[in-house]
Amino acid sequence: MRAFLSGLLLSVCLLAGPALAQEDPAPADPADEMPLAADASAAERAARLDRLFDRLATAESAEDAKRYEASIDEIWSHSGSDTADLLTLRAVDLVAGEDQDGALKLLGAALEVKPDFAEGWNKRATLYFLKGDYAGAMVSIRETLRHEPRHYGAWAGLGRILQQTGDDRRALDAYRRALALHPYLEGLKDEVEEIAHKLRGDTL
């Protein structure tokens, strides 16, 4: 299992590439925090995400970061297919009812309809993680990051799996990638400090 996870991790990192340096963001536009129109084009979605990620990476407070995060999540929640979106919503309802297997089936159906739906892959990764299927979770994380390399939740999830399987050094790298995108991810800075301290102790 450890060798399998390490191989998947290498694939994930090659797909996502290194974290890019952030330029100074443009002045905030309140319109960017309003829901996009249902008929917004892919180019409009991409442009707004770019602006929101710029602001998220340089947010001056957790409150500001939460607003940008909410706007990003809202965009991510729309796959571009009404069918895939409906199947995903039904899957979320099944998770609330503790029917994880049923939710996985619905997410699989949604991803057949819309294979590039990054948030659908991320939700599937989360379900596999909750079921203790780390190999399945890693495959879904790889797909999430293939379609959205800036998915901070997927990077954090990758770090969690690596940490729980004893690969602290790579977990630390994944966590740092998540924080480069979203500096205010809840509890992650403390996790990074703990792992970094542990690794420093291991090398003494």
pLDDT (tens digit, 9 = 90+) per residue, 156-181? 999 999 999 999 999 999 999 999 99
pLDDT of residue 11: 45
pLDDT of residue 38: 64
**CB-based contact 136:155 (threshold 8 Å):** no
The yes-or-no verdict on residue 20 having pLDDT over 70 is no
Which distant-in-sequence residues (6+ apart) come within 8 Å of 58 by Cβ? Answer: 22, 24, 25
pLDDT of residue 186: 87
pLDDT of residue 111: 98
For tokens 């707004």, name the residue: 48
The Cα–Cα gap between 25 and 52 comes to: 9
pLDDT of residue 97: 87
Reported as a pLDDT band with limits 50, 70 and 90, residue 4 is very low
Over residues 186-197, the mean pLDDT reads 91
- Tell which wins on pLDDT, 43 or 13: 43
pLDDT (tens digit, 9 = 90+) per residue, 79-107? 999 999 999 999 999 998 889 999 999 99
Over residues 114-131, the mean pLDDT reads 97
Whole-number average pLDDT of the chain:
86
The Cα–Cα gap between 193 and 168 comes to: 12
Instruction: Identify the structural domains of the chain with CATH numbers, from first to last.
Output: 63-148 (1.25.40.10), 150-204 (1.25.40)
Reported as a pLDDT band with limits 50, 70 and 90, residue 42 is confident
The Cα–Cα gap between 118 and 55 comes to: 21
Helix (H) or strand (E) holding 154: helix 152-164
The yes-or-no verdict on residue 24 having pLDDT over 60 is no
